Amino acid sequence: MARSKKQLYCEKCCRTKSEDNFYTSNNLEKYPEGRLNICKECLTMHVDNWNSDTFLWILQECDVPYVPKEWNKLLMSYGKDKESVTGMTIIGRYIGKMKLNQYRKWRWKDTAFLQEQENYNIEESMKRQGYDA
């Protein structure tokens, strides 16, 4: 027998929707249900996938790190046709990607560390190829 989906209330559009319509959050202190209190549609209506100022706050609410390299990979894969890409197109896939084993343990507060680590890896790779720092 199929399990019925839990219904949650969106504080922005004032509608009740199934929990699948809300992004998950690792911040259980703020979101004890493990879901944001604004639905995906309302949350992403003003997201510009090419302007991080429009989506970083959502990643912070979801308590996932921002790894520009991973965001840009998704943007290159799914953002080729800029006209058909919505605010949900990349962010949903990105949040899903942050649930994978290599990122699961990281949170928003780790964003700077992960970016420093990526820069270090690039620098080391360039040194191995004979470039100066």
Hey, what amino acid is at 11?
Answer: E
For 64-110, write each residue's pLDDT tens digit.
999 999 999 999 888 777 777 788 889 999 999 999 999 999 999 99
- Break the chain into its structural domains and give their ranges: 7-128
Burial 60-90 (b: 16+ CB within 10 A, else e): bbbbbbbbeebbeebbeeeeeeeeebebbbb
Q: Structure pTM?
A: 0.84
For 36-63, write each residue's pLDDT tens digit.
999 999 999 999 999 999 999 999 999 9
